[in-house]
Every structure is written in structure tokens, then in C-alpha cells.
Structure 1
Amino acid sequence: MVGEYNNREQDLKTIYQEFINEFNHIYGVMGILKQFIYLWDENIWESLFNVYVKWKNPFNIPDPPLTIPVSLLLAQAIRNGIQPRELIDDYQDSNVYLVDYETFHNLHIFLEKLYSLHLGRELVEDDLWALHKSDLPERVLGGLEVFDIFKGNLFLGDDFFQQIKSVIWDEEALIFCKKLQNLLITFLFENKNGNETIFSQELEKVVVLLAHCSAVSSDSQYIIIGNVVRAYNALFKIINTDITHLVNKKYYTGFLICKDCNEFYPLLENESPHDFSHCSCGGGLEYLSSENSNNSNNNQIFKGD
């Protein structure tokens, strides 16, 4: 076992040194690697991967059936000719480094899992409405690493989708992106099985979409290495940001119930479950959507700091 560990450690050192020797001259590369290590040290990578392992696709939960909101971003993509594969007669599996409807849809899945990570629980129907009726996807695509202060719905128009379809990769940027992704995933996983592969592929698709968006924001038809660097900076910023305050709170119309004293509190307008830390009795809180709650008692709940 010690020999196997030493061999893997040596392999990681080798692949890391090869990457550094080839790309150390590129501005921002060391910053990306430092951010990656920070997320590692804070156990954020492990926590996010655990969400993937336990993930239950909200679209496939039959009991009770969930009413999933229509994403305005996906609707806008369709309107601009970016169609789901089932609507394309001659559809062929596209290269992962190209952008299609599934790339945009993958971003929503990624944000759902990230939202679940920050909530510390599985998503319920109100969570999906609050997330998908927010402008978070538009913030991410339009603002990239400044998404948390960007108002996406003011800037993403039809021209954005038309431009993103015409963006192509510079060959050096494509090589850099593939090698950087391989380096990071190799450090994350010793072996890549089902969950590890899904995790890797979904992150890669998000990076590809962000790189395309970076090129569009630069008014360029080509993705260059600088766009890839910006895409990874944006990805790590998104993962490291508590996105719970960026959702649309008005869709939380249910109740908080204390697990200890069973007191109910109906959420008011512009309140969300994660605004509250505990009941006044010190008990933990559980959120129930309005259709699952028949009683309320507007007391006993303390709002968190």
C-alpha cells in the first residue's frame, strides 16, 4: 500500500511539473492552481462531490411529482435556435468543447447541486422555483467572475446567443483547457468511476460554456487562453460563493417548523429558510412548502445573523 501511495504521489508530481513547464509563462495560471488548492484545503471539492454521489434529479422524482419552473435562459436559447437534442432530427453527439442546448441545461444542473451544497440538504420544489426564477444563470454567463454583483437580465439579449454560437476555439487554448482539466481531475480522483466521471464531465461543460461567454464578452470570435483562465477563475469563484442570497426569495411561501417544540412560522415576503438559524427554544428548523403545511403559529422563531 505504501508503494502504491508513493507511486501515485510521484505521478502527480510528474504531471504537475510537466504542466508547469509548458504553461507557467501564461498570466493567471498559478492563480488558478492556488484557487484549486484552496478549495481542496477547505474540503469544498469533497463536499461538492458528495452532493453528486447522493444526487436525486428533481425532474425524476415521481412522488410527490414536482412542478419544475421553466428557465427563462433555456427558453431564450431555444428561441435563438439552440434546440434540445430531441427536437433535432439529425442530431449527433456534439464535442464537449462546443456549446449546445445541453451545455446550457448542464449549467442549471450544476447550480442545483451547488445550491443543495450550500443549503446542506436535498432540494424541495420551492428551492427549484427560487433558483430557476432568479437571474443567477444570467449573472454567471454575463458577469463571470463578478457574477455576484452583475445584473444579468439587463445585458443578455438575443445577440448574446447568436454570438455564442459562432465562437470557435483557438488551437492553443483548446490544448491548454484539456490539459488543465486533466491535471485538476487527476489530482481530485485516483480512479474515475461513474460518479467521478459525471462530476468531471459536468465541470468541464461549465468551463467550456464560461470560456465561450468570456470570448463573447471580449467581442471576439475566438476563445484564447486568456478566456480559459477567466473561465476557471469564474468557476472557482462560483463554487466558493454562498449563492443562497442570490435566489428569488418570493417563491418561498411555506413554513418553518421547529424540530423540538413543533412551532410553525410562515415566511414573509422576501424571507427564505436560510435567513433563519434556529428556533427561540434552540431547536433546529425544517422548511415545509405551503402545500405541506396546514397550520401556522407566527412566533418562537429567531432570525439568524
Structure 2
Amino acid sequence: MALMYNKGYVKSIRGELEDLGTGFDFESVRNVILDLGYLKNKGIYEEFFDIYKNWEDPISVLTSAYNRLPSTSSLLQRAMSNNLTPEKSSIFSGSVDYFSLHQFYRFLERVYSMNLGRGLHEEDVKAIFSSNILEKIILGLENFDRVNSTNNFDDSFFHDIKEVKWTDKHTERFFDKLHDLLISKSFNEIGSIEITFKRELKRIAKFLAVCSTVNKNKTYITTIDVINAYKTIFKIIKTDISPMVNKKEYKGFLICSKCNGYYSLEDDEIPDDFTHCRCGGTITYVPSLEDAVYYEKTFKIRTINKKLIAGTLTSLAVALVLMNF
């Protein structure tokens, strides 16, 4: 399907690029700006930023569950085993380090929340961290959704990214100016939230530019690598990544408020695959049947009890046949 862009938007681009300097492919930068224009015209970019602006962490940073998150990510574990650790990194650094990876997962959380149309829960976050989405992005960049296997991702990546440098000051200035231009086209007004968003997005773009460089077996970042980074960011924002999460993290049950039945999710299913029970009742996801007791006021017949958990009411176990649209 060919995408049609606003003609007035296209005509204004050439003048806006004059400040970027020379030595870059005009058509490629133009296409990046058009990609941003497409996301804005479709309301996707605004929706994504609204999620960022109103974000509430699904897992509190003060909990043990949050501290265990890195252990669910094979990528973060491999990073730490290759001396890319939180202790040697900084959340405010412009360098590519451990927090570049960790922050990218947070970026993917917000994309996933937009895909699902709701706030995330603990299982959602684990499904992202324990997946190989980020490895696919590192290997495929803009074509991450076409990467079928990450077996060729090895520990040399963590060594290589430490060696990457800017080609020259001109290329680094190009990166700074392009980022400023894209942000200026993203918002009508720049406040404190927009500034924080700008800083975090720039770190992600720098990481992707480094990935583009490493993938080409190079040491120096070029303007093409910078452009590839933004093309990848905009591709991620408009992609439904829900098929790529680790669905095995959803180990709970769907319970029905009307017929009082339950359904155990399969390995390839997430709660959002289903809308309601065949009986017409509202469904709720719970991590375990024991947790269902907290929903007793929504049950029409009776509370979920140990008899159901023990399996003595086996007919009830199949009472909830969910419709999958």
C-alpha cells in the first residue's frame, strides 16, 4: 500500500533542512520527516506522547518485582556479563551503556501500552523484558519485524559498541540539529515533559545509530547511521509489537463475572486476545485462581473457592468458552 503525504508538508521541507549543513542524503532525511508527518497526521504520534505524558509505572521501582526485572532479560544479563553494568553507567549519560538498553525496554513498554489500548500490568512488562524484541531491533533496525531468528546475536556486540565513535564533529552536529528539527515538528510548545521526552528519545536514537554502525562492521557513525536510527524509531512507534512479546509470561486465568467460569490461557495467548465470555459476561485476568477471590463481588453466583481450584467442579472449568475476535 502506497502512503500519501500532505503536499504542503513536503514543500516546506527543503527550506527547513538548510541548517543541517552538508554531506547528508537529502532524500533520506526528507523521508524521515515525512514518516514523522505521517505519524502525526494519523494521530499515532500524539497518542504515543500522551501515553508517555500520563505514564504510571506498572511495577513500582521500590518493589522486589522491579529489582528482579533485569534477570528476566537475557540481553541485560549478557550485557552485565560483558562488563556493561549499572554501576559503570549513568541514566544521564549520552554514551551507550547499560541504561541505554534498559531505557529502550521502557520505550517498548509505552509502545506496547499503545498497542493494547490500556495501561500495563506486571505480566505485560515481563513479557517485553523476557522477549527477544530488542535483539531483533538491534539486528534488523527498520526491518526488525522481518527478523526471524536472533541466533546470530553474540557477545561481540557489547565489545563493538564501546569502540564506536562519531566520524567527526560535523556528523555529531548533524545528529543534534536533526533531533532538534524533528522535536520542533513534533510539538507546538515545548515544556518540561517535552524536554524530558526529547532527551530520552535522543538517547534511543544514539543507541540505534551505534547499532547501525556495528551492523556494518564499522567504527565511525555516519549521517546515514543517524538517519537509519530515526527511521527505526518511527517504524517501531507505528508497529503492533504484541505478536513479538513473550506470551508465556501470561500464566494466569480469565474469569467471568456472569457464569463464574474460568479459562486458562495457552502459551500463545494474551488476555487482550479475548473480549468477553460466550455467555456475555465480562472477563477479568487474574494471575492465579487464588487471586480471583478479590473479585468476589463481581460474581453473580458464588465466589471462586478451593473446590474450583482443586478441580472438583470440572464442568465449571469449561464453562467459559471465550470468543476470540
* TM-score under structure 1 length normalisation: 0.83
Change (3 A) 1:194 1:183: same
How many angstroms does 1:27 deviate by?
A: 4.0
Same amino acid, percent of matched pairs:
36
Aligned residues of 2:252 and 2:287 also touching (Cα < 8 A): yes
Mapped partners of 1:95, 1:268: distance in 2? 42
Question: Which residue in the other structure is 2:214 paired with?
Answer: 216
1:82 aligns with 2:67: no
Counterpart in 2 of 1:5? none
Change (3 A) 1:176 1:59: same
3-state DSSP of counterpart to 1:154? coil
Residue 164 of structure 1 pairs with residue 146 of structure 2: no
Alpha-carbon displacement from aligned partner over 1:199-237 (angstroms, at most 9, x marks no partner): 212211111110000000010000101111111111111
- Aligned match of 1:303: 324
Given that 1:256 and 1:265 are in contact with CA atoms closer than 8 Å, whether structure 2 keeps it comes out as: yes
Partner of 1:292: 291
Cα offset, 1:118, TM superposition:
1.1
User: Which stretch of structure 1 is more off in the superposition, 13-22 or 135-144?
Assistant: 13-22
1:1-305 residue pairs with structure 2 within 5 A? 17-20=15-18, 22=21, 25-60=25-60, 68=69, 70=71, 71-84=73-86, 87-88=87-88, 95-96=93-94, 98-151=95-148, 153-171=150-168, 172-258=170-256, 263-281=261-279, 285-290=283-288, 292-293=291-292, 295=304, 297-298=317-318, 299-304=320-325
Contact 1:68 1:125 in 2 (8 A): no
SS at 1:157 equivalent: coil
> Which 4+ stretches in 1 moved above 4 angstroms?
13-16, 20-25, 61-67, 91-95, 258-263, 281-285, 294-297
Q: Is the 1:99–1:209 contact (alpha carbons within 8 Å) kept by the matching residues of 2?
A: yes
Which region of structure 1 is more displaced relative to structure 2, 109-118 or 293-302?
Answer: 293-302
Whether the 8 Å CA contact 1:19–1:179 is kept in 2: the answer is: no
Aligned-partner residue type, residue 50 of structure 1:
D
SS in 2 for 1:153: coil
229 and 251 in structure 1: CA distance in 2 versus 1, 3 angstrom threshold: same
CA distance in 1, matches of 2:244, 2:91: 34
Larger radius of gyration: 2
Rounded to whole Å, the distance in 2 between the matches of 1:201 and 1:152 is: 32
Could you tell me whether the CA contact under 8 Å between 2:138 and 2:211 is conserved in 1? yes
Equivalent pairs, count: 287
Aligned partners of 1:163, 1:176: CA distance in 2, in Å? 23
Q: Check 1:93–1:143 CA distance in 2 against 1; reply closer, same or farther (3 A cut).
A: closer
Distance 1:195 1:93, change over 3 A: closer
Contact kept, 8 Å, 2:90 with 2:99, in 1: the verdict is no
TM value normalised by structure 2: 0.79
Q: Please identify, of 179-188 and 150-159, the stretch whose mean Cα deviation from structure 2 is larger.
A: 150-159
